[in-house]
């Protein structure tokens, strides 16, 4: 995505997994959605992109929280198929391009931001980090993210090949559809 392209800015809000045994969304998801809503409200040139799928449909929960915070439904897009950070980036890149949006802000917690930003850059989305304030001091989350970053770096050659492919082809090529191959990084 080119920052100089026409269109509106995007505020990309990443979901967080629902917790087993709890009703309602994860508190991290609610924090992220509210922060994204603050960045979107009062700016007619911004669109909130709610991201996250799976059984719990994180994108729908983000859209609900943002709507409750005052973001109009016309200013919310949802990507509800992705199940991990890299799929978030890949599928959101296609959604952003399809709607003619520019890169904008990427909203997630501080520890998750480096890995998320890298994935979005690999997918071709130019975005500025907009981490949720007050989320930097959770040591367990930093450890989790350090291990996830190591796993992503170990797969870096595969990520780079996929990123190159994504810039020229849709999510699944016709050959992949015929062979019923799962999307990369599932």
Domain assignment present for 22: yes
Domain assignment present for 183: no
Q: What is the CATH number of the domain that holds 145?
A: 3.40.50.620
Domain assignment present for 160: yes
Domain assignment present for 180: no
What total number of domains does the chain contain? 1
Render pLDDT for 13-64 as a digit per residue (tens, 0 to 9). Answer: 999 877 665 677 888 899 999 999 999 998 888 999 999 987 668 999 999 9
Domain assignment present for 2: no
Domain assignment present for 111: yes
Interior angle at CA 36, CA 34 and CA 37, nearest 5: 60
* pTM of the predicted structure, to 2 decimals: 0.78
Decide if 10 contacts 43 (C-beta within 8 A).
no
């Amino acid at each position: 995505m080119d920052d100089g392209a026409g269109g509106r800015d995007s505020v990309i809000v990443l979901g967080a997994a629902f917790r087993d045994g709890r009703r309602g969304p994860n508190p991290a998801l609610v924090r992220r959605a509210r922060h994204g809503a603050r960045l979107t409200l009062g700016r007619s040139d911004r669109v909130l992109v709610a991201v996250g799928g799976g059984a719990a449909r994180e994108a729908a929960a983000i859209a609900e929280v943002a709507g409750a915070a005052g973001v109009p439904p016309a200013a919310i897009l949802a990507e509800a198929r992705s199940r991990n950070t890299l799929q978030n980036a890949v599928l959101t890149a296609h959604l952003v391009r399809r709607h003619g949006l520019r890169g904008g802000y990427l909203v997630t917690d501080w520890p998750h931001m480096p890995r998320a930003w890298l994935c979005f850059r690999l997918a071709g989305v130019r975005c500025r980090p907009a981490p949720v304030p007050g989320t930097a001091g959770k040591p367990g989350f930093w450890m989790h993210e350090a291990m996830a970053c190591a796993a992503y770096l170990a797969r870096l050659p595969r990520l780079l090949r996929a990123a190159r492919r994504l810039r020229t082809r849709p999510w699944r090529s016709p050959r992949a559809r015929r062979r019923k191959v799962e999307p990369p990084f599932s």
